[in-house]
Amino acid sequence: MSKQSGDRARTVLSDPLRSRGTAFDYEQRRRLGLTGRLPAVTETLDQQASRCYEQLSRIDTPIAQFIYLDLLHDRNQTLYFKVLADHLAELLPVVYDPTVGQAIKEWSRDYRVAQAAFLSIDHVEDIRVSLESFGLGADDVDLIVCTDAEEILGIGDWGVNGVEISVGKLAVYTAAAGINPGRVIAVSLDCGTNNASLLNDPTYLGNRHSRVSGQRYDRFIAEYLRIAAELFPNAILHFEDFGPENARRILDRYRGDYRIFNDDMQGTGAIVVASVLSGMKVTRQTFAEQRLVVFGAGTAGTGMADQLAAGMVRDGLSEEQAKDRVWLIDKHGLVVDDMVDLPGYQRAYARAADEVRGWKRTNGSIDLLTVIEEVKPTILIGTSTVHGAFTEEVVRALCTGVERPILLPLSNPTERIEVMPQDAIDWSGGKALVAVGIPTDPHDHDGVTYTIGQANNSLLYPGLGLGAIVSGATHITDGMLLAAAEAVASQVDPTPPGASLLPPVQNLRASSAIAAFAVAQAAARDGVATRAHDDLTQAVQDAMWQAAYPDAEA
Ligand SMILES: NC(=O)C1=CN([C@@H]2O[C@H](COP(=O)(O)OP(=O)(O)OC[C@H]3O[C@@H](n4cnc5c(N)ncnc54)[C@H](O)[C@@H]3O)[C@@H](O)[C@H]2O)C=CC1
Ligand SMILES: CC(=O)C(=O)O
Ligand SMILES: [Mg+2]
């Protein structure tokens, strides 16, 4: 074999978007210089996928399964997504939440290879060349997911290790909504880290200095956005797991200029709206009748407060009246307007000090139980990362105040959730309408089987992204977010005893297609669509990439 054909064989077999491994047939092997490089048998994709699944079944820890699948992702993406599609509900918790949290903690130590762009705040001048290195043209990219990893899930600052959340979110886009994996880029925006365990870890692979903030950070983000949008003008720029200050600031500052989407604020807000829409089918109430308590008023908590308050305004309340029905609780208890150093993103919902003067205080602050007793919320959401914060006493108090409270303990991963859903159902005597961020099995209580919906933005953002791509939306509008939420909620009947508030993960592809259709319609209504389709249903279907080896490309 000449050096040239040897190089060619290596190139084909190591390109995860082109490689088929044992599925290359005899002719293809000859043409691609692979003769003699693979065992004799030509397998089908189904046969390959069965073997992989069988191998996976022999691995007994989720993190080891994650590594197996990660290596497969880097070897043959068609096969990876076929295995994922065939066992979506079982494997989503392995490639994504909650296992991805552990993989991120161990990423540098377990370093393999990552299909991602590593952009460094110390080399802003390299952003362009790094993004160009993928060899993709202006029309070749639909979606870029970036993270600066300041607040990964509920586990904090994980520096460059956080790249795995960009990769994981993209895997969910493809598995759930058929976003073409050859048309996406995962990005790590490495700004340093304040995580001492990483800075002291000799195996850490990111910039070994504390997190850069201020003007240098702002310049880095501005350059990233400018260059990414210039090189790939049609790409959605998805932001994931930024700290609360930066997440909101970047979204507010650039939302009008770029096709950006903050998943933790907008995606989570929309899946919460979907959950509440479902819950209100049971309680037969409107948004305007809700009293919302958010425990953990950071990126996700304040993002969802905004979307639920917007729902109240749509139902006839003024903005003032809507804000008056929202209570935020953070580290120092109820957020009150005379608190010092109140972050800007909490100020809009701070309660007047006068109004709560007579409320019970513990060590100077007003705690969750007191707020529940005083407010009698119809909705309690947890985005605090404080495991166990929703105690039996809290859940019982919630149910004393209202007949069927909506209870959404959303913190991820499992070790951060405010209350396990099984406990919430038992303690509330089945009254609480529960959905959680993590996947959970059904739970039996008092003769009823409760199916617990997964209120994770992964049930919504893939369909939202697909709808934005199909319509060529220039911006992600509030109308598109609402359309996605309504489309998700429309797929369930939550009224029978024990029914879930959200569609099952097993149906995620169909569910994403329905959401994408509604999102594309909303983009057109909002005047941001650049592509019209005579048959939108067909356009959505056609846009969904399938895990198959296309004949023409062999
Ligand atoms: N289910 C879903 O789709 C999503 C879930 N999340 C989860 O929500 C949690 C928060 O995420 P982010 O908002 O991005 O983080 P964040 O760090 O922006 O917000 C967390 C907030 O909780 C507050 N907090 C900490 N200790 C507290 C305490 N003892 N009492 C009350 N508040 C306390 C923090 O001060 C902060 O404001 C994470 O666990 C994350 O995994 C986030 C996005 C989506
Ligand atoms: C689900 C998600 O985006 C988070 O926990 O941050
Ligand atoms: Mg997130």
Tokens of 486: 């309504």
What's the pLDDT score for residue 14? 87
Residue 425 neighbours by CB distance under 10 Å: 25
Nearest 5°: the CA angle 349, 351, 357 is 170
**Which atom of ligand 1 has the smallest separation from the CA of 271?**
3
Query: Is 241 annotated as ligand-binding?
Result: yes
List, run by run, the mean pLDDT of 10-residue segments along the chain (554 residues): 64 90 96 94 98 98 97 96 96 95 96 92 98 97 98 97 98 97 98 98 98 98 98 98 96 96 98 98 98 97 96 97 98 96 94 97 97 98 98 98 97 96 98 97 98 97 98 97 98 98 95 98 98 98 96 61
* Backbone φ and ψ of 250, nearest 5°: -65, -45
- Interhelix angle 299-314/244-254, rounded to 10 degrees, is 50
d(CA 458, CA 84) in angstroms, rounded, equals: 15
Residue 298 Cβ inside 6 Å of ligand 1? The answer reads yes
So what's the pLDDT on residue 10? Answer: 73
Cα separation, 149 vs 369, whole angstroms: 32
Could you tell me where the DSSP H helices lie in 178-286? 196-199, 214-231, 244-254, 268-283
Which ligand sits nearest to residue 240's alpha carbon?
A: 3
Q: Is the C-beta atom of 416 inside 6 A of ligand 1?
A: yes
pLDDT in tens, 334-390: 999 999 999 999 999 999 999 999 999 999 999 999 999 999 999 999 999 999 999
Q: Is 240 annotated as a binding residue?
A: yes
d(CA 202, CA 466): 41
Q: Is 53 annotated as catalytic?
A: no
Nearest-CA residue for atom 3 of ligand 2:
264
Strand, coil or helix: what is 185?
A: strand
- Judge contact between 24 and 42, C-beta under 8 A: yes
pTM for this one?
A: 0.96
Nearest of 326, 426, 422, 319 to residue 377 by alpha carbon: 326
Judge whether 508 and 84 are in contact, CB under 8 Å. Answer: no
Query: Which SS3 state, helix, strand or coil, does residue 394 take?
Result: helix
Distance 301 CA to ligand 1 centre (A): 7
pLDDT at residue 3, as a whole number: 62
* Extents of the domains making up the chain: 3-70, 99-258, 263-554
For residue 536, the model assigns a pLDDT of: 98
Ligand 2 atom nearest residue 413's Cα: 5
Rg of the chain on CA atoms, in Å: 24
User: What b/e string do you get for 81-115 counting C-beta neighbours within 10 Å, with b at 16 or more?
Assistant: bbbbbebbebbbbbbbbbbbbbbbbebbeeeeebb
- For 99-258, CATH number? 3.40.50.10380
Q: Active site residue: 96, 224, 258, 349, which one? A: 96
**Active site annotation includes 349:** no
pLDDT given at position 12: 85
List the CATH code of the domain at 3-70: 1.20.1370.30
Tally of CB atoms within 10 A around 229:
18
CA of 267 to the centre of ligand 1 (A): 14
* Second CATH level (architecture) for the domain 263-554: 3-Layer(aba) Sandwich (3.40)
Residue corresponding to tokens 């918790």: 93
Q: Are both 99-258 and 263-554 of the same fold?
A: yes
43 C-alpha to center of ligand 2: Å?
38
Ligand 2 and 97: CB distance under 6 A: yes
Find the 297 Cα to ligand 1 centroid distance in Å: 7
Inter-residue contact 501 to 451 (CB < 8 Å): no
Backbone torsion region of residue 429, taken as left when φ is above 0, otherwise alpha when ψ lies between -120 and 50, otherwise beta: left
